[in-house]
Amino acid sequence: MSVSPSARPSASPPSHRPAGPSAVAARPSGHPRRIVAGLALAALVGLGAAAPGVAAPAGHPDAGPPPAELPVFTSTGPIVDPDDETLPHNPNGEFIFPSVFHAGAHLEDPLGEWYVYYAPHDDPGGINLMYADSLDGPWTQYEGSPVVSNQWEGIYDVPHVSSPDAVWNAAEQKMFLYFHGDNTVTRYATSTDGLTFDYGDEVVTTEMVDAAQPGRTATETSYARVFRNPDRRSPDRWAMFFMTNYADNVRHINVATSPDGKDWEVQPEPIVSPGTAEGTNVAAADLWTYRGRNYVVYGSTVGTIFAREVDARTWTAGDPQALYIPGQAPPEAGRATSAQIVRDRGTLHLLYETGERSHTTIAHAVADPDGWRDPLNPHPEDPTYAQCPAPGSDELDGGALDRELWSTGVRDGLDRSVVAGGSWQIPTYAGNSTSAPFTLQPLPGTPWEVTTKLTLDPQVNFQQAGLIVRRDDANAVRISLSHVDAGKRFDFIWRKAGVDRNNTWTMEDVAMAPPGTGDTVWLRVTHEGEWLTASYSVDGQTFVNLGRAVPAGELAATDVGPFAYRGPAATPEVTAAFDWVRFSPSAEQLEGCAS
């Protein structure tokens, strides 16, 4: 069952990256990565007042106890390998949406104490099962998977089924397994053994959302989690969080309630809509009770799992807090979602979906009082290491560029940049990364990390500036601040063999700048060993993951430096000012600076 109210990898856990270019060098690959329920993003986005029904601010006459500090989780790594071709059911090398069921508490003669149901995402989907005697594993695959498929004779035949959620319905003395298939319908089936199922019915559909929320048009109702209604005064014993996509292609979290787990009523408003912290979409929510408070925990476009405190009487939620921030490099690849948090024998366990879309898997983490606050910000007192820049750094405070350092010129004859007033001022040249001039420096030996402070006021589409890590015109990565129709945007684009990787539909390679973002931002590229990753900051203190990791060996970049361009020549030219370019120091260099 959903034991706690609640879109990738070897068995060894992912490693935590201490910030810093060479600080990365000091990181032993494959060691546990410790991360925490950090509140850093709250500081970044300037979160507002609590929603109605949520605890009032400290000092307010109606204030209750102060918010609980959310627990720290350390990843122990994936628990199923999406590349394993020997699995009973693995049609497309991706798995999503774990559902934890305490089989030993409800079933006679279960295969193991704990069951985890999970599913492929894309067609044909199918509900898989693995089991273990401990939430720490090891996990054994059930050879009869899938236990539910995309065809049920005489009932439905759909392209795929996915997103299982198993709960024990005591009144029925049966497991109820909820799942979606196709995206417009959430269904359920029942079982007394967790292995064989009888079909139940449809429970939530897009038509039900449209009826409950006049003026909206739903296009998806999926990723449901079902739990005991935390409002014990309600006649509805059960409640559900589910994702709804609407006609504008923005996903929200909705609520439905039910007296029996069979007949459901959709609430008139979403409980979570995406905001500054989350990006374009939210999905895959669960209810979690921690230290007497109820939280909705959910995934987001930015890849972080967030938590918001919930008032179950009014189905309203407070402000987002970062609960789990994944590592930038694979296997987590900057993305975690579909969280279920389970307490067993005094230990909190987090099971979640992680990894790049189309290659996701299921992972496990445990509460860790010694965990890192945020893998991107382990040195919040000085994230750019101004006190100890590594070789290659340039404060750009002279009257001319150091040509011994910046020794690589590309299309030098077009260069009109100057160093003046404490910054490197580069005009936004007409053209793009294949036609604009660059002045670069050779990359150091791996690993490395480079950060720049950029001031730019892009007002017209195509105006952009940032850092480029380059092999040639056809092969490079670039992190930039740009302008698009919706406003300022951060981009991390991999140009591979002359083609840009830029999936703006899922917003995997871009992020809209938070409201209130000024003209000065901080951009960073990190060599993670096998991977290049990117992050940005709007305050110089808190860095946020940006885009998908790029395989460093495949790119084989040789040079790095700032760039600025504007696309069509008719686009107005503006100037990008780079205050400095700094390589972060290694642990040894930091120690040397301290001594």
CA distance 224 to 135: 22
- What b/e readout covers 507-537, taking b as 16+ CB neighbours within 10 angstroms? bbbbbbbbeebeebbbbbbbbbbebbbbbbb
Per-residue tokens: 32: 């546990």
- On whether both 109 and 205 belong to a single domain, the answer is yes
Q: Which residues contact 591 (CB under 8 A, 6 or more apart)?
A: none
211 shares its domain with 252: yes
3-class SS of residue 307? strand
- pLDDT recorded at residue 385: 62
Measured from the Cβ of residue 263, the count of other Cβ atoms closer than 10 Å reads: 13
CATH of the domain at 269: 2.115.10.20
Q: Are residues 447 and 542 in the same domain?
A: yes
Residue 24: pLDDT band by 50, 70, 90 thresholds? very low
Q: What pLDDT, in 10s, does the model give residues 128-159?
A: 999 999 999 999 999 999 999 999 999 999 99
User: Domain check: are 465 and 358 in the same one?
Assistant: no
Residue 6: inside a domain = no
pLDDT at position 42 over 50: no
pLDDT at 274: 94
Q: Kindly provide the b/e burial profile for residues 446-474, where b requires at least 16 CB atoms within 10 angstroms of the residue's own CB.
A: ebbbbbbbbbbebeeebbbbbbbbbeeee
Q: With bands split at pLDDT 50, 70 and 90, how would you rate the model's confidence at 551? A: very high
CATH number at residue 462: 2.60.120.200
Tokens of 122: 């894309």
Same domain, 155 and 56: yes
Residue found under tokens 């209604």:
229
Dihedral, 190, 196, 199, 202 alpha carbons, nearest 10: 60
Alpha carbon distance 70, 373 (integer Å)? 11
For 54-68, 459-473, 488-502, 515-529, which range has the lowest pLDDT when averaged over its residues? 54-68
Could you tell me the two tokens for 352?
């979640």
The boundaries of the domain holding residue 511 are 390-594
Does some domain include residue 57? Answer: yes
Pick from 585, 429, 586, 447: which is nearest to 527 by CA? 447
Do 198 and 280 belong together in one domain?
A: yes
Of 313, 332, 367, which residue constitutes the final position of a domain?
Answer: 367
Whether the predicted pLDDT of 111 surpasses 90: yes
Are residue 471 and residue 524 in the same domain, yes or no?
Answer: yes
467 or 374: which carries more pLDDT confidence? Answer: 467
Q: Which residues contact 170 (CB under 8 A, 6 or more apart)?
A: none
Average pLDDT over the chain, rounded to an integer: 87
Q: What letter represents residue 585's amino acid?
A: P
Is 24 among the domain residues? no
Whether residue 295 contacts residue 44, with contact meaning beta carbons closer than 8 Å, is answered with no
pLDDT bucket at 586, cuts 50 / 70 / 90: confident
Check if the beta carbon of residue 295 is closer than 8 Å to that of residue 288: yes
Tens digit of each residue's pLDDT (9 = 90 or more) over 159-211:
999 999 999 999 999 999 999 999 999 999 999 999 999 999 999 999 999 99
> What pLDDT does 54 receive?
31
Q: Mean pLDDT check: name the lowest of 47-56, 239-248, 558-567.
A: 47-56
384 part of a folded domain: no
* Total number of residues shown for the chain: 595
210-243 confidence digits (pLDDT tens): 999 999 999 999 999 999 999 999 999 999 999 9
In a domain, residue 135? The reply is yes
**Two tokens, residue 490:** 């951060």
Tens of pLDDT along 284-294?
999 999 999 99
pLDDT of residue 213: 97
Q: Which residues contact 52 (CB under 8 A, 6 or more apart)?
A: 311, 314, 316
Of 237, 243, 201, which is closest to residue 220 (Cα–Cα)? 243
- Indicate whether 462 and 323 sit together in one domain: no
Local structure of 592: helix, strand or coil: helix
- Asked if pLDDT for residue 469 goes beyond 90, the answer is yes
Within a domain: 320:
yes
Pairwise CA distance, residues 290 & 380, whole Å: 27
Cβ atoms of 181 and 200 within 8 Å: the answer is: no
Q: Which ranges constitute the DSSP H helices of 100-234?
A: 103-106, 206-212
Q: What is the pLDDT of residue 18?
A: 31
Pair (327, 403) in one structural domain: no
324 close to 365: Cβ distance less than 8 angstroms: yes
Residue 120 is classified by DSSP as -
Domain final residue, candidates 333, 367, 401: 367
Pair 404, 353 in one domain = no
Does residue 382 surpass a pLDDT of 60?
no
167 and 210 together in one domain? yes
Give domain status of residue 382, yes or no: no
Amino acid residing at 92: N
d(CA 430, CA 567): 5
Task: State yes or no: pLDDT of 315 exceeds 80.
Answer: yes
pLDDT the model gives residue 589: 81
Structure tokens at 345: 């024998």
**Cis peptide leading into 447, omega within 30 of 0?**
yes
Average pLDDT value for residue range 467-479: 98
* 107: confidence class by pLDDT, cuts 50, 70, 90: very high
pLDDT of residue 379: 63
- Return the pLDDT at 381: 58
Per-residue confidence band for 375, with pLDDT thresholds at 50, 70 and 90: confident
**Lowest-pLDDT range of 136-150, 378-392, 541-555:** 378-392
Q: Within a domain: residue 117?
A: yes
The answer to whether residues 345 and 459 belong to one domain is: no
Number of domains in the chain: 2
Tell which of 367, 399, 416 closes a domain: 367
